[in-house]
Structure 1
Amino acid sequence: MATAKGLLLSFIVIYVLLFGLLLYNVLREAGALDALSRVMARSAGTPVHQALLISAALGPFLEATTGFGIGIVIAAPLLLALGFAPERAAVLALLTQSAVPWGALAVGTVLNAELSGVPLRTLGVGSAWMTVPLYLLYAGVIAGVAGGWRSVWRHTPAILLVWAVLSAATWAVNAYVAVPLAGVIAGGVAAGALVMFLSVVGKPARSTVRETAAGTDTAGTEGGTGAALPLWRCLAPYGVLVGFSLAANLWPAFSHWLSIPLVLRAPSLQFELPLLTSPGFALFLASLAGMVLFRLTGRQAWGCVCRTLVQVWPVAVSTAGFVAMSTVMQRAGMIDGVSHALANWLGAGFVLVSPVLGGLGGFITGSNSAANAMFAPFQSTMAHALHQSPALYAVLQNVAASNLTMASPSRVALAASIAGLPGREGTLTRRMMALAVVVIGMVTVMAMAGAEVARG
């Protein structure tokens, strides 16, 4: 029974990832991602502005709509085409993972809420608050990597703008709209705000994009027609995604109508998933809209489906395994036993260990969903054993795991392979781990502050 419950919970993740990857493959087949990325990149003239636009805004937007490290896949070739050295391009591509709590329409955060029993909105808002100082750190690091550390001060207005817009939009969407849409809207608004800022302070020089094999990621249509696509058509599938999701979350009558048909239920396991209100269905509609708008042939559409199934298979198996294992351990009482032993040993000091544990899960698995599947129940049980706030520990798990995925071996290997750095994974890992230590330190300080507030 526990294994069956775990497999059903993993379907929440797989459903979203499946159609998120399908949307990515449809946009890639049509060349829309390449066209959209180039339009936005050419709106910024200096390397620092280009990096902020791609890594701090566009990357999180793309990661939020698809997940699975797709922000890296899109950003690395574009950065190379803009003239960044391979190692810098790889690091900047990894930094697109700064908003992973809301990656793939926040599917990992949704899973955390399911496993920890913390309301999704509470978890989303808490994660947003804890991410605010991290956004500033990442924006500064992106500027430093792109143009040298002295350039950080010269580009302070742009850095502060990106940070402020990302922070405000992420919090506001989590608090007042819908947690799954936070990354999509925040990334899109931040990119738009930066483009407007650059157009006001001075028209940027048009970038010369080298048309190399590394710089062209159009798998698509004959001759790579993505560059000729109008901007509205490139954005239309995202419009379908955001529009449907907003209607499903903010229009009660529409949401009620969607929640009646096609509901996956297992009453004996206390599981229910309305398929039409899940973010996965919004991604499915966006994928269909893309196929129609880009006039993909039947053969091209089938190719997108086949590539999606190949890509989703490994993550589906690993996610199902982690969730099932966690559920079995919880039902068997193993998590309770370990948590009570640690509670007696560490006491209130466990709040210092919690971010490290969450970060370790993100580093090992390279996935917020898998890390939350492993440790969210344990973090929740520890909170109850210590008579502390389950929401605080759920947030610590979510934020720490998400942010350390960018240093995970799987994500580093992905960035290295795309940037043409075979055998340089160790160098990239050392650079990302140095940043990861700073991130865990900041999260730990915020954890201590949060624990004090909760006790007060």
Structure 2
Amino acid sequence: MYQQVLDPVSHSLGLSAIFAALPLVVLFVLLGVLRVTAWISALIALVVALVVATVVYPMPIGQAALAATLGAAFGFFPILWIVINAIWIYNMTVDTGHFDVLRRSFSRVSDDQRIQAIIIAFCFGALMEALGGFGTPVAITSVMLIALGFKPLRAATLALVANTAPVAFGALAVPITTLSTVTGLPVHDLGAMVGRQTPILAVVVPLVLVGIVDGRRGLRQTWVPAVVCGVAFGVAQYATSNFISVPLTDIVASLFSAAAVVVLLRVWQPAASSMVMPTVTPVAGGSVDTPDSGFQSRVAHPDSRREELRAYAPYLIIIVIFVVAQIHPILHALDTVTRSFTWPGMHILSTSGKPSTVAVFKFNWLTAAGSLMFISGLVTAPVLGISVGRALRAYGRTLRQLVWAIITVMAVLALAYVMNASGQTATLGNSMAGAGAAFAVLSPILGWLGVAVTGSDTSSNSLFGALQVAAGTKAGLSTTLMAAANSSGGVLGKMISPQNLAIAAGAVGLTGKEGDIFRRVFGWSLAFLAGMCLLVYLQSTPVLSWMIP
């Protein structure tokens, strides 16, 4: 039995926090500064976390090793289980040529890559986040952008930066409901508060995406649809979370923003630009093949309605299956086979002496987003006319394509679980919580840190939600505001999480180049975080306190 300790170094929380931060410092320095391959960086950081847990903290070696195995298992299921099946579906559409049909279809909406980045990375990504979360939008939208002719590094960057504003309400608002569970605050109040923070972020993100694609010229020529998209998404996200339904927030916002852009394009088009869809044919692995010499003629003489429907079918199937699976009677039936159990051999008490939930593994093998994605793939195969043998070969190719991403994600989650189980993460959180009234500025940073470590806003809320409330109460700050800030700040850590970097790199065929992607997105993560910190601080003062429900 191991009981977590917050201040193992001379009973000083500050000194202990320095040691607790070492695994993260090592990870990000190796990844972003020294450009070490992600899976090697993750394994080295894991070793550092194990050393800190067993030498600095009084955690038995056996318990630390078991925590690492639990984290690795969680990394594979449910997280990698989603990504593998999402990329499998994509690879089947590439094999049959239907992704090329989809690409030509998009060209008739707009062949401008700046517009496509808004619609695919932001709007469609938000819909995937709403339905699946846990890496689903990054995996799917990055390969869609590749198929539309984007360079791999840019596609990965766009997918990661876009996966921000929708994250707090992802997977039908699981992060919010989890936050409510650990804090005891009403779901509606938390959803309403987050819905008064992330919509402001949503207004900015489409503009950033346009800037990433085409710089200042893109902003001059395409700011109108970017603003329309961001405002439409923000208004819908605010209205739905505050007045309609917290779980449906991102579904409504993504569809409303996409519709707004499509309607705008019927009456307005950006100035002519060189940022039009190139004539390339996508291949599995996120690269491009030889030029499609018949592409322009196929745009002029479109594919048949039947072929277009089959090209869109995989994504329609995904949406239908995810929505149907959330209908309460069906969800209840699927959940009857879910099993939760304490990881064998792990015996951990929290600092208060109560059994820690860190050691609990939930095997929801039918309701998991990855399982629903796998079912979608099984339905997609016959719709696309793929035989069983061909589908199996595509699955094998997908596993080979993602092998290093799989190792990376499992190592990162092993690192996160060792830090959580030993108390390293709690040490970092508690050290920040002692800042008094200034905690209003640090609150989003704590959520950002939690997501950077775990790759999940849900996990970050589980780790720090109660701590945010306790710190807010102690400092005389709104507990609803502090809890919501953990989730809203957390969404900005997702793009730099090694887990999501590995997913993006594996999807676009840049495995081993995670450091390059990290450097592309790190600045945006910090800039957005600074803005969120300022917003939360102002909401904690009379200037914007009227925004708190």
Shorter-chain TM-score category?
Answer: 0.7 to 0.9
The Cα shift of 1:424 comes to 6.1
* Corresponding residue for residue 135 of structure 1: 202
Offset of 1:180 from its aligned partner? 4.2
Name 1:219's counterpart in structure 2: none
Q: Provide Cα deviations, 1:305-335, integer angstroms capped at 9, x if missing partner.
A: 88689888975786588579657859xxx95
Q: Against the structure 1 CA distance between its residues 8 and 181, is the aligned structure 2 distance closer, same or farther, given a 3 Å change threshold?
A: farther
Whether the 8 Å CA contact 1:80–1:86 is kept in 2: the answer is yes
Residue pair 1:69, 1:411 contacting (<8 A) in 2 also: yes
* Residues 256 and 155 of structure 1, relative CA distance in 2, 3 Å threshold: closer
- For the residues of structure 1 that align with 2:210 and 2:520, how far apart are their CA atoms? 15
Instruction: Tell me the distance in 2 between the aligned counterparts of 1:101 and 1:117.
Output: 18
The 1:48/1:23 distance shift into structure 2, 3 A limit, reads same
Q: Is structure 2 residue 93 aligned with structure 1 residue 27? A: no
Q: Are the equivalent residues in 1 in contact too, given 2:198–2:488 (CA < 8 A)?
A: yes
Deviation at 1:444, TM superposition (A): 1.0
Find 2:497's aligned residue among 408, 422, 441.
Answer: 408
Residues 299/83 of structure 1: CA separation in 2 closer, same or farther (3 Å cut): closer
Size of the alignment, in residue pairs?
A: 437
1:383-394 matched pairs, under 5 angstroms? 383-394=472-483
Instruction: Return the letter of the residue paired with 2:320.
Output: V
Query: Counterpart in 1 of 2:32?
Result: none
Tell me if 1:234 matches 2:304. no
- C-alpha distance in structure 2 between counterparts of 1:151 and 1:338, whole Å: 40
Pair 1:165 & 2:245 matched: no
Question: Is 439-448 or 227-236 further displaced after alignment?
Answer: 227-236
- Alpha-carbon spacing, 1:75–1:247, altered in 2? closer, same or farther (3 Å): closer
Distance 2:318 2:189 in 1: 26
C-alpha displacement of 1:92: 1.9
Matched with 1:39 is 105
Shift of 1:274: 12
Q: What does residue range 14-413 of structure 1 map to in structure 2 within 5 Å?
A: 17=79, 20-21=82-83, 24-25=86-87, 27-31=89-93, 36=102, 39-40=105-106, 42-98=108-164, 99-175=166-242, 178-201=245-268, 207-213=277-283, 214-215=287-288, 230=310, 233-241=313-321, 243-244=323-324, 247-248=327-328, 254=329, 280=369, 286=376, 289-290=379-380, 293-294=383-384, 297-299=387-389, 322=416, 326=420, 339=430, 345-412=434-501
CA contact (8 A) 1:413 1:425 kept: yes
Deviations 1:387-416, CA, capped at 9 Å, x for gaps: 433322222111212212213344445545
For structure 1, which segment, 257-266 or 352-361, has the greater mean C-alpha deviation from structure 2 after superposition? Answer: 257-266
8 A contact 2:149–2:277 mirrored in 1: no
Distance 1:449 1:416 in 2: 37
Are the structure 2 counterparts of residues 236 and 198 from structure 1 closer, same or farther at C-alpha, using a change threshold of 3 Å? same
Q: State the alpha-carbon separation in 2 of the partners of residues 300 and 108 from structure 1.
A: 37
- Aligned 8 A contact 1:36 1:234 in 2: no
> Residue 202 of structure 1: CA displacement?
5.4
- The structure that is helix-richer by fraction is 1
Alpha-carbon offset, residue 263 of structure 1:
6.9
AA at the equivalent of 1:131: T
The runs of 5 or more residues in structure 2 that have no matched partner are 4-62, 290-305, 342-353
Post-superposition CA distance 1:78-103 (Å, at most 9, x none): 44454445543342232231222234
Q: Structure 1 residues 37-46 or 388-397, which shifts more? A: 37-46
Give the deviation of 1:182 after TM superposition.
3.1
Partner secondary structure for residue 109 of structure 2: coil
Task: Select 1:439's aligned residue among 516, 525, 528.
Answer: 528
Range with greater deviation from structure 2 (321-330 or 237-246): 321-330
Cα pair 2:131 2:319 within 8 Å, conserved:
no
SS at match of 1:211: strand
Cα shift readout 1:12-46 (whole Å, capped 9, x = no counterpart): 99876477447525632541777556633552132
Provide, for residues 92-143 of structure 1, a one-character-per-residue CA deviation record: whole Å limited to 9, x for no partner: 2322312222344444444333333333343333223211121122111111
CA contact (8 A) 2:161 2:521 kept: no
Structure 1 position 381, deviation (Å): 3.0
Please give the secondary structure, in 2, of the residue aligned with 1:161.
Answer: helix
Sort the Cα spacing of 1:36 and 1:376 in 2 relative to 1 into closer, same or farther, 3 A: farther
* Greater CA drift, 87-96 or 284-293: 284-293
Q: More displaced, 428-437 or 133-142? A: 428-437
CA contact (8 A) 2:117 2:210 kept: yes
CA distance 1:297–1:366, shift in 2 (3 Å): same
Check the 8 A contact 1:83/1:209 in 2, yes or no. yes
- For 1:196, give the aligned amino acid: V
371-380 vs 417-426, which deviates more? 417-426
RMSD of aligned alpha carbons: 4.8
**In structure 1, C-alpha distance between the alignment counterparts of 2:242 and 2:367, rounded to whole Å:** 19
1:45 counterpart SS class: coil
Please state whether the residue corresponding to 2:450 is helix, strand or coil: helix
1:58 is paired with a residue of what secondary structure?
helix
Q: What is the TM-score when the length of structure 1 is the normalising length? A: 0.73
Counterpart contact for 1:110–1:120, Cα < 8 Å? yes
The structure having more radius of gyration, on CA atoms, is 2
User: TM-score, with normalisation over the residues of structure 2?
Assistant: 0.63
Identity score, percent: 23
Q: 1:183 to 1:36 in 2, by over 3 A?
A: farther
State the 1:59 CA deviation: 2.5
